[in-house]
Every structure is written in structure tokens, then in C-alpha cells.
Amino acid sequence: MSAASLRVEAAAKQFGGLKVFEGISFEVPAGGIMGVIGPNGAGKTTLINVMAGMLAPSSGRILLGDRDITGMPFHLVSRLGVARSFQQTNTFRSVSVEENLFRAQRFGAAQEGPDLGIHQMLEEFGLAGHLDEPSEKLPYGLQKMLGLIMVLAARPKFLLLDEPAAGLERRERILVDRFVEHARKTIGCGVLVVEHDMELVKRLCPHILVLEAGRLLAEGAPAEVLSRRDVIDAYLGASDD
Amino acid sequence: MSPHRHRDFKLDIWGVALVLPLLLVPLFTTSPLLNSLTYQAAIGVSAAMAVYVMLRMGLLSFTVPAFMAFGGYAAAMLAKSGVTTNLLALMAVSFIVPALVAIPLGTLVLRLKGVYFIFITFIFNEILQLILFETPTLTGGSDGISGVPPATLFGIDLGKPALLVVVTVVVCIVATLITLAVTQRWRAEFTSIEENETLAESLGVAVWKYRTIGFVASAGVSGLAGFSLVNMLSTAHPSSFASWSVNSYIAYAFVGGRGTMLGIAVGSLLLIVMTNVFSAYAHLSAGLYGILLLAVMMAAPSGLVGGVVQLVDKFRSRSRPAAAAPVQEKQA
């Protein structure tokens, strides 16, 4: 096991009598990328919530390296280096893009380290001309990309990306690829991507997990996993034929 | 510093600057009305600053009168018992005692938000009122603590009317500077918690910690206001810290604009002056006050200063369409 990997061990989460997922175990290696796919309601976002400390698991453990971070407060998990993005746009809406970035850097896990290349990303994603604008005035795609850059500005060891391409136009989705490449290149962080866009998952992730109804249905390389009958059935629904 | 933060900082500094001229009033006039207005304004601004600290985090706290009572009674007990009448010592005690009370109280109430937080902080005032009335050996009960000796400094008796006003204004300036220091030092954390608590937490902000810092600072600032009131009246009495009085302090903040210290100062000064103007109309005064509040809040929901800031922003954004056009085109 890598000293700085992010491990999920036999994690389960239930709300009252409703089991969201159970028996989930996997490991995101330091600097590695893992994709998590599954139909709606499979428990993907709840898994991210549990890994990020927003929710405590009902059982099982979350380990960052050798450190047990199970049930630690959300902000503390973030400061230890496990940061998440959100499905919907999530910025400090009334303040400028520049102020959003300032806050992310100020609150982040580490204040110093290698150059994050934030300005390069702002240019590349089309945000550089909007630095003084309130983030709520930006188009949806730019707000979404700003949210991703803010997570990176906090210098995490692991990025948990919850449907980073959701709501983006097809031409904008390539920016998510660039963001992930950039994050890995600059700070070498591990990345867990929950996503419905299969093309994006195939491009980015050498290893994927498939969740279905709270169970780990399959795991492996995308080409192999996505050709499995049970995975196709889980996504498209099983046929009687 | 981004333009947004720079502007907010300037508006906060203007809030402090607006209070400073109050020091001159007792030096240039002996008019009882003007001196009365000055000390009312100084106490009102101090108490409204305590409301402001919590509003920076999106929390509407009703604890101000209770913490004023802690500060006022602590200073009164110290002065009356002959331990000290030193102004600096009394100010320190009136800040520290409520701040210490706020720590355990904060661990209980700061988990709550919205109406639950408002309700529990209001109830805290009522409980304290009951305690003040039911502990006569300690607090004087319904008689309060009367005959509190005025503060002194380096052997100078500060009990003369003009000096009492000066002391009240000085305490107000100190309360305002403490508010400035706390809200500027942790402005990013406070405003992030107010605007998007989940995002702030996801980026590493320990929300409970900053809420506690704000609550403790707000309690201390309230305590200073309470000391001013007791020092001015020479009496610590439960009625000076009645629960309903917080409505006025909250109104000051909302009418002036709850986003900046300038708004707090403007709202406090305006409403205190207008209260005195309306009092000339006896039975109509409460109604006129209400109409004023309604008119301001309908015309400028973000307060007078907030409304002006929005107008300036709108004007500026209209005056630079040429610069914005290429960017919009690129986006399209």
C-alpha cells in the first residue's frame, strides 16, 4: 500500500432503514485516477460525501495513508488534503472570481508549495477576463470551472470530483480533462471522478468502479468493465431476450 | 487586496471615522440635548456593532442586552465594592466577563441556525432578566445597583457631565475598533460562512471555531456598551438591559446596511436622532418610527449604505460596456 493512498474499507452508509451502499472497499493510489460510475441512485455522491467527511459512514473506515479519517469533521478532512467538488456550481456567488480564488487559497490545506499555474488555467478556461466580476454573473460553464480551480487552489492530496462535467456543453467537457491533467502535473494529487459521461471516464480513468444499488458491481479497466453484460444491464436495464 | 475587499475595508474605516467627531461634542457645547444625543449614539453604535459581528456570519443574535448586562453589572460591582474605578480596568472587566460567559454558551447555541438561533438567544435574555430580579443579594434585584461611582483615570474623576460623555464616546471608539479588528482579520472566513457554509467547510474552514470567535467578540463589545450605560446612569438596573432593546440595535444595523461598519454607524446615528425628533410628537412617535423603518427598508432593502453601494456598482458597470463587450462576445 502506498503511504499516501486514500482507502475505503468495507464502508457502508444507511439512513434509518435505507441502505445507500454497503461493503465498498477500494484504494485510490497517490497521484492515481479512479473513476466511479453507476446509474442514478447507486450511491456515488453519498460515497463522496462519506470520503470527504460530510457524512460519517455507518460502518467501515476511510484511511488517508495510515491515518484513519473516518468520521472526522468535513473541514478537517479537507485540511488533511481530501477535497471535493460539487455536482452543481458552488462558489461564493456575490464576490468576484479573484476573491473566490483568494478565499480558496487562504482556507486551503497548504499555503505553500509548487506553483499551481492558476493564471494559466484561468486563461485556458476563459476566466481571466472575468476576474473582477461576481461569480454569479458568470455563465454556468465558467462557474463550474471556477469551482474546480478553487478546489485545486486549496492544494489537496486527493481530489474528489462529483460529476465535474454535469451541465457542461460537449465542447466544454474537454476542459475537465485539462483540469485533471493540470492538477496531477502541478501537485501530483490523486483523483476520484464520479461521472456519467462515459467518454470522459474512458479518456481519464485507467481504472473504474461500477456501483449499482449500493453494491460494488465491477472494477477494472474501462474497456473491460464497460463491455460486461451485467454492467450494461445495470445502466440500460436488463432485457428478457 | 481585491477591489471588493478594498472597498469594504474603506467603508469599515469610514464607519470608525464617523464616530470620532462625537468626541468633540462635549468640548464645544454644554447643550443637554446634544450631549444626551451623543451618549445615546455612542451606546447605540457600540451595541449595534455587537449585532454586526454576528451578522457578518449570517447569524442574527438577540444576546446583546444580556451580554450588556454582564458587562455593566460586572463593572458596577467592581466599582461599587471599591475594588477599582479605573476606567481601563472597568473596560477590561466589562469586555472579558461577557466574553468568558460566551464561550460555554456558544458551544450550546452556535450549533443552531436561523429561527432556532434567534429563539434561543432571545430566551437567554429572558432567563438573565429573571436571574437579575431573583438574585437581589448579588445584583440588587429589582432595585439594581445604584450609586455606582464614576470611572476615574490617573486620579482624574470622570464623573462630570461632559467627561461622562467623553468616556462613553471613547468606549464606543474602542468597541468599534475591536469590531473592525475582528471582522477584518477574519472577514474572508466570516463572509464565506454567511454566504456558503458548505463550500467554506469543504475548503477547510472550521465553522464552529469562527462562529465562536465572533460570538465571543460580540459578547465583549456588548459588555463595553453595557459598561457605558451603567457609567452614564450611575446605576445598573435590569430595565436598562430589557430584551426588547435588542430590536433597536438590530434596526440600526438593517436600516444603515448590515454589510459594512459604515452602515451600522449611519443607521445608529440616523435612528437615534429620529427617535428624539419623533419624541416631540408624543403618542405618534412609535408610529412615525415604524413608518421610517418601513420606508427605508422598502426603498433600500440592503440598508442606506448598502443601497448607495449598489447604485454605485450599477453606475460603474454601465459606464464600462465597451471594455466588457469583447469578453461577452467571446463567451457567446
Least confident stretch, B98-107, B176-185, B243-252, B323-332: B323-332
Least confident stretch, B138-142, B193-197, B278-282: B278-282
Which residue from A91, A93, A154 is facing B204, i.e. has the nearest CB? A154
Q: Cβ of B280: how many Cβ atoms within 10 Å?
A: 9
Summarize pLDDT for B77-136 with one digit per residue, the tens: 999 999 999 999 999 999 999 999 999 999 999 999 899 999 999 999 999 999 999 999
Q: Is the CB of residue B200 less than 8 Å away from at least one CB of chain A?
A: yes
C-alpha cell at B279: 419624541
Farthest CA pair distance, chain B:
75
Query: How buried is residue A238: exposed, middle or buried, by Cβ count under 10 Å (0-12/13-18/19+)?
Result: exposed
- pLDDT greater than 50 at residue B328: no
Q: Is the CB of residue B198 less than 8 Å away from at least one CB of chain A?
A: yes
Q: Phi and psi at residue B5, in whole multiples of 5°?
A: -70, -35
Question: Which residue on chain B is closest to A111 by alpha carbon?
Answer: B204
> Reduced to 3 states, what is the DSSP secondary structure of residue B151?
coil
Summarize pLDDT for B255-292 with one digit per residue, the tens: 999 999 999 999 999 999 999 999 988 889 999 999 99
Interface touch A107/B207, C-beta < 8 Å: no
Annotate chain A with DSSP letters as a single string. --TT-EEEEEEEEEETTEEEEEEEEEEE-TT-EEEEE--TTSSHHHHHHHHHTSS--SEEEEEETTEE-TT--HHHHHHHTEEE--SS--S-TTSBHHHHHHHHHHHSS-S-SS---HHHHHHHHT-GGGTTSBGGGS-HHHHHHHHHHHHHHT--SEEEEESTTTT--HHHHHHHHHHHHHHHHHH--EEEEE-S-HHHHHHH-SSEEEEETTEEEEEE-HHHHHT-HHHHHHHH-----
Is residue B165 a part of any domain in this protein? yes
Question: Which residue on chain B is closest to A75 by alpha carbon?
Answer: B204
Top-confidence residue, B111 or A111: B111
Q: Is the CB of residue B330 less than 8 Å away from at least one CB of chain A?
A: yes
C-alpha cell at A52: 470527504
Angle at B44 between CA B40 and CA B48, to 5 degrees: 175
Averaged over A18-47, what is the pLDDT? 93
pLDDT of residue A190: 95
Q: Cβ of A239: how many Cβ atoms within 10 Å?
A: 7
Q: For residues B195 and B57, what is the distance between their CA atoms, to the nearest angstrom?
A: 8
Q: For chain B, what is the domain count? A: 1
Q: For residues B306 and B236, what is the distance between their CA atoms, to the nearest angstrom?
A: 36
Q: For residues B213 and A200, what is the distance between their CA atoms, to the nearest angstrom?
A: 44
pLDDT band at A73 (very low <50, low <70, confident <90, very high): very high
pLDDT of residue A231: 86
Is residue B41 a part of any domain in this protein? yes
Q: For residues B139 and B133, what is the distance between their CA atoms, to the nearest angstrom?
A: 8
pLDDT of residue B320: 65
Q: Which of B175, B219, B202 is nearest to B59 (CA)?
A: B219
Let me know: does A214 contact A20? Beta carbons within 8 Å: yes
Considering chain B, what is the average pLDDT of its residues?
93
Residues 52-81 on A with a CB inside 8 Å of B are: 52, 54, 73-76, 78-79
Is residue B4 a part of any domain in this protein? no
> Reduced to 3 states, what is the DSSP secondary structure of residue B145?
strand
Quote the domain boundaries for residue B104: 21-241
Residue A137 C-alpha, separation from nearest chain B C-alpha, in angstroms: 11
pLDDT of residue B315: 86
Q: For residues B261 and B149, what is the distance between their CA atoms, to the nearest angstrom?
A: 32
pLDDT of residue B323: 44
Which H helix or E strand runs over B100? helix B87-109
Q: Cβ of B103: how many Cβ atoms within 10 Å?
A: 12
Is residue B235 a part of any domain in this protein? yes
Q: For residues A147 and A167, what is the distance between their CA atoms, to the nearest angstrom?
A: 13
Q: For residues B275 and B271, what is the distance between their CA atoms, to the nearest angstrom?
A: 6
- pLDDT greater than 60 at residue B5: yes
Residue B331 C-alpha, separation from nearest chain A C-alpha, in angstroms: 8
Is residue B233 a part of any domain in this protein? yes
Kindly state the DSSP code that residue B203 receives in the 8-state scheme.
T
Is residue B67 a part of any domain in this protein? yes
pLDDT of residue A239: 55
Which residue from B3, B189, B202 is facing A78, i.e. has the nearest CB? B202
Residues of B with Cβ-Cβ distance to A76 under 8 angstroms? 206
Conformational region of residue A179, where left means phi above 0, alpha means psi within -120 to 50, and beta covers everything else: alpha
Is residue B328 a part of any domain in this protein? no
Query: How buried is residue B187: exposed, middle or buried, by Cβ count under 10 Å (0-12/13-18/19+)?
Result: middle
Residues of A with Cβ-Cβ distance to B5 under 8 angstroms? 99, 102
Q: For residues A181 and A204, what is the distance between their CA atoms, to the nearest angstrom?
A: 9
Length of chain B: 332
**Confidence (pTM):** 0.90
Q: Is the CB of residue B194 less than 8 Å away from at least one CB of chain A?
A: no
pLDDT band at B152 (very low <50, low <70, confident <90, very high): very high
- pLDDT greater than 70 at residue A236: no
Annotate A40-93 with DSSP letters as a single string. TTSSHHHHHHHHHTSS--SEEEEEETTEE-TT--HHHHHHHTEEE--SS--S-T
- pLDDT greater than 60 at residue B325: no
Q: For residues A64 and A51, what is the distance between their CA atoms, to the nearest angstrom?
A: 10
Top-confidence residue, B4 or B301: B301
Let me know: does A8 contact A56? Beta carbons within 8 Å: no
Interface touch A52/B202, C-beta < 8 Å: yes
Q: Phi and psi at residue B281, in whole multiples of 5°?
A: -100, 20
Q: What ipTM is given for this predicted complex?
A: 0.91
pLDDT of residue B303: 95
- pLDDT greater than 50 at residue A113: yes
C-alpha cell at A162: 462529483
Is residue B249 a part of any domain in this protein? no
Residue A131 C-alpha, separation from nearest chain B C-alpha, in angstroms: 10
